Amino acid sequence: MAKSIDVSDLDIYYGDFLAVQGVNMTIRARSVTAFIGPSGCGKSTFLRSLNRMHEVIPGARVEGKVVVDGQSLYDPTIDPVAVRRMVGMVFQRPNPFPTMSIYDNVLAGNRLNARKMKKSEADAIVEKSLRGANLWTEVKDRLGKPGMGLSGGQQQRLCIARAIAVEPQVLLMDEPCSALDPISTSAIEDLIHELKADYTIVIVTHNMQQAARVSDETGFFNLKATGEPGHLVEFNPTKKMFSNPDESATEAYISGRFG
């Protein structure tokens, strides 16, 4: 079941450096939320904080709260691995495991979690996940072939299939189309629309038109000055953000006057 995310007074640090400051927002369940803003303003850092992926960098830490359906993700009793099962992630560049087949790529997360499965169960997970990523009909006759043999757009959909195979409730996407051609980008955007029926989806994108097309709500991040922490300038329904934003800085960025 998809979950809502409540973020309260979140500060994100790398060592002593405050990278993102004072974020407050509620991300609705079964919606698509987009984060936009200039490079270096903390969008991806904030995205990674939602499943504790930023912690792979030594010295990274947060202050404040991220609560998913009532459960604090940074509670000392919570295992970060369990968080990443619940909040999956798809990265900027397609990253199928190069030595694995399409079939084994889809099951990689389940096997990493040391889950034992019968062949029939594994087959069912692979088919369900590839269907969920709109890839099944294209690859069903070559599941044993390397995942790296697919096109870029197919590889990204394979990575989405791998992410949803462990049945997360939230799916994070960090610029999922930036390395793709327009046709593949359209396929991923169509998939995002379909997936929000079952998942809470959060994306980072530099493509204003993409944010306008796929998201229900949009957050605009910015820097007050070079070297200052990134902060959330505005968070509103996407239609409002792109037609009548509350903040002049938002309008300036969306219109292309800066950024």
Q: Which amino acid is at 55?
A: E
Specify if 111 maps to a domain: no
pLDDT in tens, 4-29: 999 999 999 999 999 999 999 999 99
Angle 102-112/119-132 helices, nearest 10 degrees? Answer: 110
| pLDDT, one tens digit for every residue, the chain (259 residues) | 678 999 999 999 999 999 999 999 999 999 999 999 999 999 999 999 999 999 989 999 999 999 998 889 999 999 998 899 899 999 988 899 999 999 999 999 888 776 678 999 999 999 999 999 999 999 999 999 999 999 999 999 999 999 999 999 999 999 999 988 899 899 999 999 999 999 999 999 999 999 999 999 999 999 988 888 999 999 999 999 999 999 999 999 998 876 4
Specify if 194 maps to a domain: yes
Specify if 259 maps to a domain: no
The count of domains in the chain is 1
CATH of the domain at 54: 3.40.50.300
At residue 165's C-alpha, the angle toward residues 42 and 129, to 5°, is 110
Specify if 201 maps to a domain: yes
Helix, strand or coil for residue 47? helix
For residue 16, what are the domain limits? 5-96+171-254
The CA–CA distances, whole Å, from 159 to 58, 150, 204, 256 equal: 26, 11, 16, 32
Specify if 21 maps to a domain: yes
Q: Which amino acid is at 37?
A: G
Specify if 57 maps to a domain: yes
Specify if 147 maps to a domain: no
Specify if 184 maps to a domain: yes
* Alpha-carbon gap, residue 92 to 10, rounded angstroms: 24
> How many beta carbons lie within 10 A of that of residue 186, not counting itself?
14
